[in-house]
Amino acid sequence: MNLLLKVFTSFLLLALGLNQSYAQTKEQNIKPKQEEILISEGASTGEEEIFIFTEQMPSFPGGETELNLFINKNLRYPKLGAEHCIEGKVIVRFVVCKDGTLKKAEVLKKMGWGFDEEALRIVGIMPNWIPAKNNGQKVDCYILLPIKFKLP
């Protein structure tokens, strides 16, 4: 038993020592190269390129304040969720197209109880957004939008 404990302790110390030596690599090796950062999807598959980050991200007409007002004005609390006093947040991802229209809306963080459907409904009735720009050109871009549900 004592031998087993010594072997285990030696192995543990060796593993920790190796881990620490890897942690002390030069900073230049840790930074990702600019080319390695994913900024768009679809380019390699032949589909229309959809950006994740752009120089000028898409925006709701009137900005974030108007977006919040729009959501609060149009949000219908799901009946089942209200009956069970459920609150939370749904995260919706969608594409703002070059012409400002919205497409490919999907729920990434679900709640159930009718909240997911309501979040998608809200995105579906939104007006056109101001599209993203990259190198001065309008481009398609993904947006993540959290929609909070809180009982009054």
Domain boundaries, the chain: 34-149
Q: Is the pTM of this model over 0.75?
A: no
Tokens representing residue 77 in the block: 């609390």
DSSP 17-72: HHHHHHHT--HHHHSPPGGGS--EESTTTTSPPEESS-SB--B-TTHHHHHHHHHH
* 92-126 pLDDT per residue, tens: 999 999 999 999 999 999 999 999 999 999 999 99
Tokens representing residue 103 in the block: 């497409």
Class (C level, CATH) for 34-149: alpha beta
10-residue mean pLDDT profile of the chain (152 residues): values are 48 45 40 44 64 96 98 97 96 98 97 97 98 96 97 89
